[in-house]
Chain A
Amino acid sequence: MALPLAARRRSTINYLRKYWSLYAMLSIPLAYFIVFRYIPMTYVQIAFKRYSIVQNVWEMPLARNYGFEYFIRAFSNRDFLYAVRNTFMLNFLDLVIGFPAPIILALLLNELPFRRFKRFTQSVAYMPHFLSWIIISGLAVQLFAPTNGLFNVVLRRLGFNTVPFLNHPTYWVFTYVLLGVWKNVGWNTIIYLAALTNINPELYEAAAIDGAGRFQKIRYITLPGLRPTIVTLLILSLGHILSSEFDRPMALGNSLVHNVSNVIATFVYTYGIRGLQFSLAAAVGLFQSVVCVVFLMAANALAKKFGERGIW
């Protein structure tokens, strides 16, 4: 059947002589993944253990209630419950408002007949994507300043009351979502515009001959053409409904809006790294990671059930 042993060994030696350098190259990134991604996964166990500074992770004693002490504590912590609610609420609003926005913009850009103007619009609209949330927060603090910011000055000149955009919980949520759209709407059109170029132009010509108007073309050609892209991105967004951004609420939040700006990631930072309650914060982090994976898998399964391609 197979080659004789000596021949097989010779082929192994030949293989290694040819490809050892590939393994040598790969060993560096693999070491990176083991040290910085997989070893931390073993540290997840401190969520179930009583943290002690003098012991290593494996030796720490199990926490009470079969190790679930810190999960119980988290779920009886008001701050944490608020954080879960806020994470869900902000992501949900981002999904409802921030998700359709680039689709609409891509459709508009696609209909725009002035080519150079279109390219200019795109260039300008992509720009905010490259500003950090800290910078955006700096811009926002000036733009929305309660007494002398541009928006409030204009509002006052028009005879309206000033609006505490960043200092009142309700308005803050509105500003938070709006700034998210501002940062990402242009950039996120790229993926849709790329998908639009794959639509066969003959479809539009045929539709025009049949007397289809602009809206009918969008309804029956453009949107179905975008469908796979939309579904893929929707799965990813749904999968991330309980994952939280850190930079954004950190940069935009302040003490006046803490009860809406406090999300899971900021909770972990405040309780774990600032408050040194490692076990509690690790339990919260683990809860979030597990929920994220479950949501992602559920969203993927749902998409496949509806006959879409899914993400894996």
Chain B
Amino acid sequence: MVKSKGTKAADLVIAFICVLLIIACLLPVLNIVARSLSSSEALIKGQVLLWPKGWNFTAYKLVLGDSKYTWSLGWTAILTVICTFVSMVMTTLCAYPLIYDKLKGRRFFNTMILFTMYFNAGTIPHYLLYKELGLLNHPLVLIIPNSLSVFYMIIMRSFFYSIPDSLRESAEIDGASPVRILFSIYLPLSKPVLATLSLFYAVGRWNGFSDALMYMNDRRWHPIQLFLYNILKSVTSIEVATQEGFASAPGLSDTLQSATVVFATVPILLVYPWLQKYFISGATLGALKD
């Protein structure tokens, strides 16, 4: 088909909008990397935009030398691995039995599980429960209470559904038990969805902060996001203070803060490019359910 001049111009306008979008997405990240690598004088003078001025690695040395920060990063990494594993086991245990249409009580279990998606007891009842169970300020409170997401369970279940029943039935005739069928048929065939959901859970845990803020007062077990939140809040108040006219020197704290943010972002940005195809397939799977 021959394109008219008007169509080509429109194509270029759309491409231009997309370029603006790309810039908008990358700008804040480039800016913070530049700030973390700049000298505090250049920062205070407002000379740093997208490229570092007065290169120095002081902030990174300070951040890496801070044992609390590195511990928090390490602990969050451990926590993420544990949580992802626990969540995947729980999700599989929930999704797999529910695909058996012969399972008695399936409708009841389904309703019972789905109901929790629509009605939530709220923060305070959960808080009181954890208090009674002795989970408050215990590291397990960051692992167990949110280990199973109904939404992700539905995604896994609809993937299991897409595996033909005939495979399962012929294995049953051969005398394979449900557990055996799970391990030899369903799990090997579900690698894409297992990868996707693991990543969703992992990103959720790495980025999660509200549960720690509410239920974890012990600073040793603070995950990285809460640690960052505390840093940001103390620095923001300095920021606010300077605006109000109080004297202080926010320069170094700015580079420091930037460096801490960069460190917590890097793991996500590292896994992001080569895993995004899984994320996308997961997001569309979730959409198909509706």
Cα separation A38 to B125 with both chains bound (whole Å): 10
**A146 in contact with B239 (CB, 8 Å):** yes
**A142 in contact with B90 (CB, 8 Å):** no
A199 to chain B, nearest CB (A): 15
**A19 in contact with B102 (CB, 8 Å):** yes
By beta carbon, the residue of chain A nearest B146 is A36
**B124 in contact with A112 (CB, 8 Å):** no
CB within 8 Å of B: which of A26-54?
26, 28-30, 32-33, 35-41, 43-44, 46
Cα separation A236 to B272 with both chains bound (whole Å): 28
Interface string of A78-118 (1 = CB under 8 A from B): 00000000000000000000000000010011011110011
Cα separation A145 to B232 with both chains bound (whole Å): 13
The answer, yes or no, to whether B189 is at the interface (CB within 8 Å) is: no
Cα separation A266 to B121 with both chains bound (whole Å): 16
B274 to chain A, nearest CB (A): 11
CB within 8 Å of A: which of B1-53?
1, 7, 10-11, 14-15, 17-18, 21-22, 24-29, 31-32, 35, 43-46, 48-50
Chain A residues, Cβ within 8 Å of B178: 18-19, 21-22, 25
Chain B residues, Cβ within 8 Å of A57: 128
Partner among B11, B48, B235 whose Cβ is within 8 Å of the Cβ of A148: B48
**A289 in contact with B15 (CB, 8 Å):** no
Chain B residues, Cβ within 8 Å of A286: 122
The answer, yes or no, to whether A143 is at the interface (CB within 8 Å) is: yes
Chain A residues, Cβ within 8 Å of B46: 147-148, 152-153, 156
**B209 in contact with A134 (CB, 8 Å):** yes
Partner among A30, A143, A187, A190 whose Cβ is within 8 Å of the Cβ of B31: A143
Chain B residues, Cβ within 8 Å of A182: 24-25
The answer, yes or no, to whether B166 is at the interface (CB within 8 Å) is: no
CB within 8 Å of A: which of B174-232?
177-179, 203, 206-210, 213-214, 225, 228-229, 232
| B144, B239, B269: most-surrounded residue (chain A CB, <10 A) | B239
The binding surface of chain A is classed by DSSP as helix
**A187 in contact with B283 (CB, 8 Å):** yes
The answer, yes or no, to whether B73 is at the interface (CB within 8 Å) is: no
Q: How many A-B residue pairs have CB under 8 A?
A: 271
Partner among B45, B93, B127, B145 whose Cβ is within 8 Å of the Cβ of A273: B127
Partner among B18, B27, B272 whose Cβ is within 8 Å of the Cβ of A117: B18
B267 to chain A, nearest CB (A): 10
Cα separation A169 to B255 with both chains bound (whole Å): 27
The answer, yes or no, to whether B284 is at the interface (CB within 8 Å) is: yes
The binding surface of chain B is classed by DSSP as helix
Chain B residues, Cβ within 8 Å of A127: 25, 269, 272
Q: Categorize the interface residue count of chain B.
A: 35 or more
The answer, yes or no, to whether A251 is at the interface (CB within 8 Å) is: yes
**A124 in contact with B123 (CB, 8 Å):** no
The answer, yes or no, to whether B116 is at the interface (CB within 8 Å) is: yes
**A30 in contact with B25 (CB, 8 Å):** no
**B272 in contact with A130 (CB, 8 Å):** yes
Chain A residues, Cβ within 8 Å of B276: 123, 126
Cα separation A256 to B228 with both chains bound (whole Å): 20
The answer, yes or no, to whether B147 is at the interface (CB within 8 Å) is: yes
Chain A residues, Cβ within 8 Å of B15: 112, 114, 117
- By Cβ-Cβ distance, the 9 closest A-B pairs, closest first, are A285-B122, A132-B207, A43-B125, A138-B261, A29-B94, A40-B121, A40-B125, A22-B97, A148-B46
Binding site for B on A (CB under 8 A): 15, 18-19, 21-23, 25-26, 28-30, 32-33, 35-41, 43-44, 46, 57, 105, 108-109, 111-114, 117-118, 120-121, 123-128, 130-143, 145-148, 150, 152-154, 156, 164, 167, 182, 186-187, 190-191, 194-195, 208, 214, 229, 232, 246-247, 250-251, 254-256, 265, 268-269, 272-273, 278, 281-282, 285-286, 288-289, 292-293, 296, 311
Binding site for A on B (CB under 8 A): 1, 7, 10-11, 14-15, 17-18, 21-22, 24-29, 31-32, 35, 43-46, 48-50, 90, 93-94, 96-98, 100, 102-104, 109, 112-113, 116, 118-129, 144-145, 147-148, 153, 177-179, 203, 206-210, 213-214, 225, 228-229, 232-233, 235-237, 239-240, 242-243, 254, 257-258, 260-261, 264-265, 268-269, 272-273, 276, 279-280, 283-284, 287, 290
For the A-B complex with A29-B153, A194-B287, A272-B123 known, give 19 more contacts whose Cβ atoms are closer than 8 Å.
A15-B102, A26-B109, A33-B112, A40-B126, A43-B121, A44-B122, A108-B17, A113-B11, A121-B18, A121-B22, A134-B232, A139-B32, A150-B48, A153-B49, A186-B25, A250-B213, A251-B232, A268-B124, A285-B125
